[in-house]
Structure formats: C-alpha cells, structure tokens
Structure 1
Amino acid sequence: MLDICNLHAYYGKSHVLHGVDLHVEPGEIVSLLGRNGAGRSTLVKAAMGQVSATGTVKLKGREILGLKAYQIAHQGLGYVPENRDVFPTLTVEQNLVLGQKNAGASGRWSLDDMYRMFPRLQERRAVAAGVLSGGEQQMLTLCRTLMGDPDLIMIDEPTEGLAPKIVALVADYLTALRERGISVLLVEQKLAIAMEISQRVYVMGHGAIVFEGTPAALRADAAVRKEWLEV
C-alpha cells in the first residue's frame, strides 16, 4: 500500500531524515514511535509533499514523491496533522463536507457514518469549529480526512492532550478504519495505545529507523525501549 525507500528529508540545510525505509500493507495499522525530534512528523509530512525530500514514496505502486499535497490526497493518501487544522469560522458539518474528495460523490464514508462514530459531532454539527474543545476538534479533523475516502491515512499524534475517555474513542476509531479496509500509519507517543492496536511498529531515532517488528517483539526488547523510547 505505502512503500517508502531511502527517504531523506531536509528543512533548509538541516538534514532531518537519513535514508528511511518503511512500508504499510493493505488493511494494516502501523505505529511510528520515538521521542520528540526523532523525525516522525517530518516523515509523514515528506510523504504528503510538505517537506523537501529525496528517495522513493510509492502509494499502491505509484510514485508520489514530488507531487503536490492535493495531488497526493487525490491518489488516496489521507493526512491528519498534529495541529488539528479545522476551518474555525465554518460549522462542523461544513468542515466535514469540505473534506469530500469530489463534491457530491459517494465514498466509503458518509456524514451519517461520522455522526454514528462520534455522536458529539452530530450534537455540534451547526457550531463553528473554532469554539470546539481540543478533543472535539481532533474528532472533526479525523472525520474530515475520512470524508476524502483515503485508502491509507497518516495520523500525527491523535491522542495528544486528550482525556483518557477520548483516547479510548480514538483507539476504537482507528480499529474501525482497519475493519473497513483502510490502512493506518500512526505517529504516536503513547506506547500503550500503539502496542494495543498495531500489527507492526517502527521506532525512530535521530532521523533513522532503529527498530521494526511486532508489538510483542518490542515488548521483549528492553534495550530498544530504554535507548529510544523511555524518558
């Protein structure tokens, strides 16, 4: 589904990613773990065409590196940024409709699906997105991306700053995506949620992959956890 090979990324003269290899299979949840500054967010931004990069990024076998972000989205790659980019003056429902890839086209997800998954959004459907709580904005951003009917969705720190109850909702949401055949690349700092819902995990350190394997393999590797994850 998503194949990243020998990816190097740069902010100006700063070389941030150093030859990263990563893949996500169809219907798979893969978590990308690591400390702040390890390069995780840069990786997903590079895949989405938002950071200068070299190497190979293929989606469903087609090279997407070098395309504009909107072109990449139309190829079927969804991206939920860490900063919850909602349109603050538009209502919840207007934000969701704007997420549709083709206006009026029917995809795998409808407004009713979004409201069924997150009833709170239905309650707030006529409210301006800018006055929502952080948790509500996170729900909205996730759902708006889904309205674009992606085949794979990259989600950057979806549980950051959320109450435990909402974190559990997000975990259920990601599992529901997989059950609908959508692949997920999850950038996450909360080890528990990543280990619970992922089929495979990668650990990044200093702009490179330092571990790839199953959650069980990472649990068994105390040295990797101590060196690259634990504070």
Structure 2
Amino acid sequence: MSHLLELSDVHAFYGKSHVLHGVNLHVNAGEIVSLLGRNGVGRSTTVKAAMGLVDARGSILFKGQQLLGLKAFEIAHKGLGYVPENRDIFPTLTVEQNLRLGEKSGKAASSRWQIDDMYQMFPRLKERQHTQAGVMSGGEQQMLTLCRTLMGDPDLIMIDEPTEGLAPKIVDLVAEYLMTLRQKGISVLLVEQKLAIALDISQRVYVMGHGSIVFEGSPADLKQDLRIRQEWLEV
C-alpha cells in the first residue's frame, strides 16, 4: 500500500546544528497520526522539513512525489496543508478576509470546502466574520488558522500544537474538528503535547526522542508501554 506521506531517513539542520537523525514515518489516506514527545526533540522540525521550511536530506514523498528541494508554496499546491504553532493569521484583516486568502486560486468552486462550511463547523467564526482577527481570543484565532488552511483544499494537514494554551472546552472543539476532517477523507499529522487528545482521536502514534522515532504503534500499544511513556513523554 503506498502511503500518502512518507518520510525516510530524514535528517534536518538549523545552520550547523543537526536536529533530525534519520526520521522514518508515514501517514496513510484518511488517517489521523499523532507525533508525540517532549519539547525540543524535533517534532516541529519534522513537519517543517516536510513543508520545505528547513534544510533537510533523505526522502520525503507525498503522493509518490519527492518534496525535498521544493519551496513551501509549491508543496502547498500539491495538497499538503500546514498549520504552524504560532497561529498564522493576518491580524488587521477580518475573519472573512483571512478565510478568502486561504482559497486556492482558481479552485474555489471545485474545493471540498466553502466558507459556509467553516462557519458551520465553528459558529463562533460566523459571529465574528467582520471582526479583525487580531482582536480575537487565542481559541478563536486557532479556529481561524485551521479553517484558513482548509480553504486551500489540502489532502493532508500537518498541525503543530493546535491545543497549546487553549481552554479545555476549545480543546474538545479542536478534537471534533480533526475527526470531521477524517470523515471528509482528509489525513492529519498532529504534533501534540496532550497525550489524552492524541490517544483519543489517532489511529497511530509516533513518539520522538532526540531527533528520531523511538516508538510507533496504536494508541492502545502506547497505553500499555509504560517504559516508553515514562522515558519519553512524562514530565
């Protein structure tokens, strides 16, 4: 079975510092996969490498095509979405304007998603559609970032720490959103600190330590593996 996204022996660098040491992971169509681990082990670098945002070598295939060497916008055009940790919105534009900017040029009509779908998923955004994005709460900005990425009609979305700093009620909303994506046939690679949400919604999980993968398995496997949890996840 060919994987939708496949990283093989990926090494990545920030300047002279060698951050990823031979990462292997894959995501299949219609699957939510979580990448877990403590801060600083290379999880964000892994998704940035796939998005062409850091210097990497090895192999990163998306729908069978090599991504290494492409620019981030070229990778996005192939159908790979990326939601960075820092909530990438245009603060002086309204909610609606931010969403329109996310649309793939010329593809709005054929897209799986319309702005009304976003408002249905997150009614709060509809209430705030004419509000400047910069004055919204962190949770609302996170919803907007997720929806703006979706407007580009990706086949797979990589999401970096979407629940960081959000209230529990909003965390539940984000989890629901991710499950909605999967129902629509979109795959998700989720970088997450919160073990509970990851185990709840993922089909498979990877655990990362010091720039390489130290565990791969189902949520049930990870629940049973006390040693991995103690050594690589628990603070």
- Fold match by TM threshold 0.5: yes
Q: Distance in 2 between matches of 1:200 and 1:27?
A: 12
1:66 Cα deviation from its structure 2 partner = 1.0
Q: Distance in 2 between matches of 1:215 and 1:185?
A: 14
Name the stretch that deviates more: 100-109 or 11-20: 100-109
Q: Secondary structure at the match of 1:53?
A: strand
Q: Distance in 2 between matches of 1:73 and 1:163?
A: 30
Structure 2 gaps of 5+ residues are none
Partner residue of 1:7?
10
Q: Pick from 33, 53, 56: which aligns with 1:53?
A: 56
Partner residue of 2:111?
107
Q: Pick from 56, 69, 72: which aligns with 2:72?
A: 69
1:36 Cα deviation from its structure 2 partner = 0.2
Q: Secondary structure at the match of 2:110?
A: coil
- The sequence identity of aligned pairs, in percent, is 75
Q: Distance in 1 between matches of 2:24 and 2:152?
A: 27
Give yes or no for the alignment of 1:84 onto 2:87: yes
1:230 Cα deviation from its structure 2 partner = 0.3
1:106 Cα deviation from its structure 2 partner = 2.9
1:65 Cα deviation from its structure 2 partner = 1.2
Give yes or no for the alignment of 1:204 onto 2:208: yes
Q: Compute the TM-score of the two structures, normalised by the length of structure 2.
A: 0.97
Give yes or no for the alignment of 1:93 onto 2:96: yes
Q: Secondary structure at the match of 2:26?
A: strand
Runs of 4+, deviation exceeding 4 Å: none
Give yes or no for the alignment of 1:138 onto 2:152: no
Q: Compute the TM-score of the two structures, normalised by the length of structure 1.
A: 0.99
1:102 Cα deviation from its structure 2 partner = 1.6
Partner residue of 1:36?
39
Q: Pick from 176, 186, 193: which aligns with 2:197?
A: 193
Q: Distance in 1 between matches of 2:97 and 2:69?
A: 30
Summarize deviations over 1:98-142 as a string: whole Å, max 9, x none. 001124443001101000000000000001111110000000000
Q: Secondary structure at the match of 1:203?
A: strand
**Amino acid across the alignment from 2:49:** A
Structure 1 gaps of 5+ residues are none
Q: Secondary structure at the match of 1:79?
A: strand
Q: Pick from 158, 163, 167: which aligns with 1:159?
A: 163
Summarize deviations over 1:161-207 as a string: whole Å, max 9, x none. 00000000000000000000000000000000000000000000000
